[in-house]
Amino acid sequence: MTRLFGTDGVRGLANKTLTAPLAMRLGAAAAQVLTKDRRSHERRPTAIIGRDPRVSGEMLAAAMAAGMASRGVDVLRVGVLPTPAVAFLTDDYGADLGVMISASHNPMPDNGIKFFSAGGRKLPDSLEDEIERAMDELEAEGPTGTGIGRVIEEAPDARGRYLNHLAESMTVNLKGIKVVVDTANGAASRVAPLAYEAAGAEVVTIFDQPNAYNINDNCGSTHIEQVQKAVVEHGADLGLAHDGDADRCLAVDAEGNVVDGDQIMAILAVGMKQENDLRYNTLVATVMSNLGLTLAMEREGIAMKQTKVGDRYVLEELGRGGFALGGEQSGHVVMPEHSTTGDGTLTGLHLMKRMAMTGQSLKELAEVMTVLPQVLINVPVSDKSAILDNPDVISAKAQAEEELGQTGRILLRPSGTEELFRVMVEAADKEQARKVAGRIAAVVSAV
């Protein structure tokens, strides 16, 4: 049986592969699994449901709420808010679980369902597997009468709670910093500008008019060129680009140069070390982070832990080691002191905090790390599971690693969602990276 959950919840084409009946069954199963040890006669279990602005979110959130209520769970719908806001509110309201209806940076026709357990934490594989099994074993009938859960359609203080939470994480005023914010016509369209303004920044917003159909449409973190252009036009100090559910943040400096997630982590790690806030002097990142980040951290006396690709694995390592900072090149940055998951708005605030505290521009701060040229080739294959153990691939990789020495890196891995094999090469020179990647990709393609 094909696994329903992917690397970040359940995702698919809304009303095609991700339907309202599926969402209803999934909601019922999740309610059953995630509240089985938290039921009592004194208090009915509760769930928080939020969504991004895409049109299918209205349908799926309603179905999810119906499924949960049918299993005796009270549901509080908090409306359009970022994913990290839903994670925070799950904990802040003392709910037993939280649900975010969003497909993140995907185009509008897609949607997804992400779950949080009590405390606002993402689910481990074992719980996701249990929910999938529960979907197949659901009893046809749930409770009746007073056993049915209530659905509260609006939480008037939800946005305010989240904004207060963000404000409490700041210790400096951002007065004098002008920022352009691209909210991707997504979940952060209202809260991100408010948070930045409350911290003292002068805010120019673009793509902040969601209409249910325009989320991520030629804007946001997957179209960083929009904020690059706007920063120069408005003479801003920096620009910030979020994705549809605002758990990501990418930046550009005053000249329009991109500052990616690796560079943001480098800036924050150095600052946190100076302030004695970087626990165990360690940064957690994935294997896809640029080698330049590793070299920069070595120079700054900061250790690095690397995980598999996916923010959930970063979160697991942060929790396991008690570390204070981690993230991905894509702009997922996690600061466990303030958030249980990646929070793009929080990241933007703390990036500007570093500018305010040092008096340095974003360009100057980003110079702590030199980004090495990186080439990624996706090779279509018939059996991606057989590639890594192939003798020809092993030989080609070993030869290339000898050629690159300490100045480069090779990463080979199968795609988690497609019949593709990914060949990633970093080198001090772009042309060398391109040649080495092409040579290995040719060997992979011939397997």
Say how many Å lie between the first and final Cα of the chain, rounded.
27
392 is in an annotated binding site: no
189 is in an annotated binding site: no
Residue 272 corresponds to which amino acid? M
CA-wise closest residue to 287 among 394, 411, 114: 411
In the set 56, 70, 102, 104, the catalytic residue is 104
Tokens of 172: 């400096």
129 is in an annotated binding site: no
**Which residue's entry shows tokens 């197949």?**
136
Cβ 353 vs Cβ 171: under 8 Å: yes
Q: Tally the C-alpha atoms within 13 A of residue 157's C-alpha that lie toward its C-beta.
A: 6
Residue 310 corresponds to which amino acid? G
Separation CA 32–CA 132 (nearest Å): 11
74 is in an annotated binding site: no
Q: Please provide residue 314's backbone torsions phi and psi, each rounded to the nearest 5 degrees.
A: -65, -45
117 flagged as catalytic: no
Active-site residue set: 104
* Binding site listing: 104, 243, 245, 247
| Binding-site annotation, residues for Mg(2+) | 104, 243, 245, 247
